[in-house]
Structures are given as structure tokens and as C-alpha cells.
Amino acid sequence: MPFIEEIAIANPKYCHKQEDILKFMQSVAPENEHRKLKMIYKKSGIQTRYSVIPDYGLEERTFYPLSQTLEPFPSVETRMKLFEKEALDLCVNAIEKLTDFSNITHLITVTCTGLSAPGLDIALIKKLKLPTDIIRTSVNFMGCYAGFHALRLADTFCKTQENARILIVDVELCTIHFQKTSTEDNFIANALFADGAAAVIVSNNPKQAYFELRGFHTELALEGEQSMAWEVASTGFLMTLNSYVPDFLASNIENLVDKSLKKNDLYMSQVHHWAVHPGGNRILESIEKKLTLKKIQLESAYKVLSQYGNMSSATIFFVLKELKNIVKKNENIFSCGFGPGLTMESLVLKGI
């Protein structure tokens, strides 16, 4: 039976207050949009976010041009070079916080914010001197639910190889893709997303493990396909994240929960903890209302959102780590995340 042995997390050195990021955004936005931006940030539920870019909290810029228009605006090539420079060290920072990352048989890397080949997987093997015959899998460009996909792969590897010991490395540098065009999608994305990394060990060893992986379930809400998207453009990756997403999720969350729990022979009353991907404050509030949960039941998600923002696929590991010291033996956890498609992933775990 597969288990999450340990989770370690890391963030870049630049911690920005949400009000400072708002000032940066207002400084490059048309004046008639300032009030709208202020309202979005006020309702975000976020206090601080981390970034590999210092500009969002400083008067002087080091990445973006000093011009009012930010021209020449950084190209996708410039942003990918920044990803290559920063992502590896952030991953290593998380990995080195693990108690033991020896005897790794499989390496799964996860990101949707930077792409290259040779990629992060090979860079990690060189940096950490991992075996060159290690089995490598890269989960790329799936969005906020990709961490669940990585855990599903690790679960499969463990079930087919008794001595499997999988290292999942998930890193997202969302803030390198800031877009300045005044659209609702950009305003929302710029108010939510942040940078972070997680390192996770999955194996068949229950000794001192965090959680047991019980079962996965996925649903595709195609009516929301155009509401969340992630595309490559000349000035970076473009996020579509419109204001209807919380409504789409609320309309489909009961079906996801019902089917997932049924597959795992559980009832709603047997769920002791909830580990929901904090895609945004409105998303959490919509799920809370639809499932008639109390806010305290989503406390771990709200706390991660407040302290870190939305770090795309890495965020769910921050939430699970937050729950680690709360969950008791044999208590059930329902976890879920969302992304382009509109994809809804879920996972049931059990405390060890």
C-alpha cells in the first residue's frame, strides 16, 4: 500500500505583502482601473506571496524595464531563462529539507511554468548526483491539478514495484508570467498566483509516514472548458481565469465528492479533514457553501492561501503539510484540486 512518507516545501527569498503588489500593479495600470484592482486585492484573502522577482515589492526594478509601460516587455525567452536560473535551486532547497531522499527509484518532476529539454529532471539528477538509470517522468503544463496526477503516478509505481521509492519534485514560478494588459483574466491571475516548490517521498513504507494513499478520482466539467486555460505567447504564458470558475466548481463539486467517496467505500460523515486546493478565496467559499462545510474545516486551505497565495500545482502539498500535525491515525482526508479542462481531481488519504 502506497504512503506519503514526507513533504518538504520551499519558497523564494522575496516575500511580498499583498498591498505592495497592489501598488506595483496600480503603477502600471490605467488610472481608471485602480479602484477595480483595489477591490480584487481586498477580497483575495491573501496577505503575502513569494516570488523569484523582487520588483513587485520594490520601487526600483531589476527584471522589468523602468519605463511606465514596462517596455520592452520581457519575452517568453527571457522568462524561460529566469525559470532555468531559479527553479533548480528552489527545488534543491525543498529536497534538502527531507529527512531522507536516498534509494530513490523514480523521479517525477512537475511544473507548468517552465519548459525546456534537457529539463528539470536531468538538472536534478546532476545536481543531487542521483543514479543515471533512475526512472524519470515529467508532468508538464497540466496546471493546478498536476500534483494529484504526480501522486497518482507514484501510487501506480508503488503498486507495481514493492521497493519503489518515488521522489516528486513540484515547482511553480507563476510570477514570472505577469501580464500587463488590462483584462479581467490578468487582474485576477496577477492578484492570486505566487512561486513555490515541494518535495514529496512516496513509498510502500508506512513507518513514520504522513498519510496512506487510499484512492483517486477525476471528473471533467466540459462546460467550463473555456473558463480556465494556460497558453504560450510571445510575452510568456497567458492565463485565462474568469470570474465564472467558482460557479462551475460549485456546480460540480458534489458529484466529484460523491463519486470519489463511493469508490473508497466512504460516506461524507466519515471525512474528518478537507485538503482543498486554494485556487482563490471565492473558490473556497463556493465549495464551503455547496458542501455545507464550516470555514474551520477548510482552515488549512485558507491559511496557505493567506500566507503563500496560489502556487499552482505545488499548493496542494503545502495544504497537506499543514494538515500533517492535525490528522490522527485512521482519520480520512478528502483532497481535491482543479485546473484547465475544467479538470477536477480528487484523492482520499488516511492518517497514519
Q: Report the mean per-residue pLDDT for the chain.
A: 95
β partners of residue 273: 333
C-alpha cell at 131: 543514479
60 has pLDDT over 90: no
The residue-averaged pLDDT of 282-294 equals: 96
Res 221: pLDDT: 86
List, in sequence order, every residue forming a beta bridge with 4; answer none if it has no partner: 202, 211
Residue 58 has pLDDT above 80, yes or no: no
State pLDDT tens for residues 196-240.
999 999 999 999 899 999 999 999 988 888 788 888 999 999 888
Give tens-digit pLDDT for 124-171. Answer: 999 999 999 999 999 999 999 999 999 999 999 999 999 999 999 999
Q: What is the pLDDT of residues 174-195, one digit of tens each?
A: 999 999 999 999 999 999 999 9
Instruction: Select from 183, 182, 247, 260 the least CA-distant residue to 219.
Output: 260
Do the beta carbons of residue 30 and residue 182 sit within 8 Å?
Answer: yes
Confidence of residue 96 (pLDDT cuts 50, 70, 90): very high
DSSP 310: B
Q: What is the CA radius of gyration of the chain?
A: 20
The SS3 assignment for 247 reads helix
Residues 6 or more apart from 196 whose CB is under 8 A from it? 9, 10, 11, 12, 50, 90, 171, 172, 308, 311, 314, 315, 318
At residue 228, the pLDDT reads 85
- Please give the pLDDT value at position 3: 98
Band (pLDDT 50/70/90 cuts) for residue 64 is very high
Residue 285, amino acid: E
Q: How far is Cα 315 from Cα 277, in angstroms, rounded to an integer? A: 7
Q: Which residues pair with 244 in a beta bridge?
A: none
Kindly give, in sequence order, each residue whose CB lies less than 8 Å from that of residue 259, ignoring residues fewer than 6 positions away. Answer: 217, 219
- Whole-model pTM? 0.97
Q: Indicate left, alpha or beta for 233 from its phi (over 0: left) and psi (-120 to 50: alpha).
A: beta
500587463: which residue's cell? 180
Reduced DSSP (H G I as helix, E B as strand, rest coil) percent helix, strand, coil of the chain, to 5: 40, 25, 30
pLDDT computed for residue 244 by the predictor: 80
Report the pLDDT averaged over residues 313-331: 97
In this prediction, residues 280-295 reach a mean pLDDT of 96
Q: Which backbone phi and psi does 268 adopt, to 5 degrees? A: -55, -35
What confidence score (pLDDT) does residue 286 get? 95
> Please, which pLDDT band fits residue 120 given cuts at 50, 70 and 90?
very high
Question: What domains can be seen in the chain, in order of their start residue?
Answer: 3-203 (3.40.47.10), 211-351 (3.40.47.10)
299-308 vs 281-290: helix crossing angle, rounded to 10: 170
Contact 233/76 with Cβ under 8 angstroms? yes
**H or E element that contains 25:** helix 18-27
The string of pLDDT tens digits covering residues 323-336 is 998 999 999 999 99
**Does the pLDDT value for residue 30 go beyond 80?**
yes
Residue pair 11/308 in contact (Cβ under 8 Å)? The answer is yes
pLDDT at 229: 83
Q: Which residue's entry shows cell 483532497?
A: 335
pLDDT at 243: 76
**Polymer length in residues for the chain:** 352
Other beta carbons within 10 angstroms of residue 333's beta carbon come to 23
